[in-house]
Chain A
Amino acid sequence: MNNGSTINHQSSIVNRLRLWSLKKSIWVFHVNTGACNNCDIEIVNLLTPKFDVERFGIKLVGSPRHADALLVTGGGTRQAAIRLREVYRQTAKPCVVFCMGACACGMGIFEKGYHMAGPIDSIIREVDPHAIIAYVPGCPPKPQAMIMGVVKVLAALEPKESYATERVGQAVVAGAG
């Protein structure tokens, strides 16, 4: 049930439509697991009219159940790790986790801190080993970097077939994706 990779890559009209609509309409939910707020400010900057992410279909929602992407900031503190796992379980699959900032990617300067439970990806993988996790490093990452992260994730959601090197009967050069 808690399988992040419930993106069914078998080729069929329904699955293609599902993938298309997921790529065109990503609703994000912002989770702060103990950040210093710089990354949070940059995320809020991202959602202002200046960068206008609504034209990509990205919308900020107020409940994790509505979300397709979790924007997680902050290193995983012990206190927040329990809550983050709950929020991930409440997010309707298929979903993507974005680790925003150096602290989320790998605890950053708080690596040796007594209050850390681990980087975000280890916390998420305790719940779902197959979770789709994207890393956007930076301290804080620029909004342009976050948009780039989203674009790369959208490209990576494509089925592996588009990277196929061989079809029956003919050899095909791998696509650039």
Chain B
Amino acid sequence: MIDAMQNVFWILIFPGFVFTLAVGLLASWLVRKVSALVQYRVGPPVYQPVADVMKLMGKEILIPQEAHRSIFVMAPLAGLSGVLLLSAVLWLATARIDYVGDIIVAAYLMIFPSLALILGSSASGSPHAAVGAGREMKLVLSYELPLVLAILVVIIKTAGLTEPGEQLSLAAISQHTPVLSVSGALAFLVALLCVQAKLGFVPFDIAESETELASGVLIEYSGALLGVWKLMQAMMLVALPLFLVIVFLGGIGLSGLSILWGIGKFVLILVLVILIKNTNPRVRIDQAMRFFWVYCGTVMVVAVVLASLGNVYNISWL
């Protein structure tokens, strides 16, 4: 009984839904504030994302006549639940509660928000949303391969370092820092760009490009449903950098100074994402596809080869 209550507390409050949401809203404020400072202006106050979401919850929901009602309404909720599950898996891994294959579960759950975006925009009944959905589909096809290869590099490197009998899970991976090797560094860079695309930030915010597609995928959403999409995007800002920290940078420790060090790593990735966002223009979808498949794919294949070589010949810095 106490156990169940504690589990519910962990999943819903800390570090589950409410905590991730709060950190996510804070992170999205950080994105806007740092972008403002980079552009030599004052940014929004710290409660701005909270005000945005509250305002959206209070507005009316308009459903277009040609939209597919049930999918239109369920898609944002599905996306939100996907991110919630993803963050639950990652927090469990941070707490060293792991199971075999949780890295596959995490990689699978990361596709969920993009899938929900595609479903929701296809159900919108609007040509803008349809074009946005097509672009999002192409984008997902582009960056999934380099991302999986990057995770593969980390698995190869960690497999050589774990004790026999220790299961290869996120918690085990987070004991090591693969980024301090050549293949790991390459994999980290590519994974960072894939995360940039997954978060929907410039230069890869092709699906929700405001100026081109009149908000693309989310054009027909309003009110509370749009608020749920914004919540999902805020929680992704926590889950995806956390994934990068766990897989590449050695995770968030559990005691004392290592907690601060872990938070520092998380903030570092967030700042990298923000700086890339502020210094680049948006690319076209065909440029994005070529970038991920040709350049990142080639780099990743090289990294996999290097990692395997390092594994076979016991060279740890490869």
Q: Which residues of A contact B (CB under 8 A)?
A: 1, 6, 17-18, 20-22, 24-25, 49-50, 52, 54-55, 57, 60-63, 65-66, 68, 90, 92-94
Contacts and interface: CB of A to CB of B under 8 A. Distances in A.
The dominant DSSP class at the B interface is loop
Given A22-B55, A66-B222, A92-B223, A55 B43 contact: yes
Contacts of A54: 32, 36, 41, 43-44
Interface residues on B, range: 20 to 34
A32 B213 CA distance: 17
Contact of A21 (B42, B44, B51): B51
B318 interface: no
B45 interface: yes
B41 to A, nearest CB: 4
Nearest to A90: B62
B52 A25 contact: yes
B62 A65 contact: yes
B214 interface: yes
Nearest to B32: A54
Contacts of B39: 49
Chain A to chain B: the 8 pairs with minimum beta-carbon distance, closest first: A21-B54, A62-B215, A62-B210, A18-B58, A65-B222, A21-B55, A24-B51, A92-B222
B48 to A, nearest CB: 6
B221 A52 contact: no
Nearest to B49: A25
B12 interface: no
26 contacts: A17-B54, A18-B58, A21-B52, A21-B55, A25-B51, A49-B40, A49-B41, A52-B36, A52-B42, A54-B44, A55-B41, A55-B44, A55-B45, A57-B44, A57-B48, A62-B210, A62-B213, A63-B215, A63-B219, A63-B220, A65-B62, A65-B219, A65-B220, A65-B221, A92-B222, A92-B223
B218 A63 contact: yes
Nearest to B47: A24
Given A66-B222, A94-B59, A57 B215 contact: no
A68 B55 contact: yes
Most buried by A among B39, B45, B58: B58
A92 B62 CA distance: 7
B215 A61 contact: yes
B226 interface: yes
Most buried by B among A1, A50, A55: A55
A55 B42 contact: yes
Contacts of A57: 44, 48, 51-52
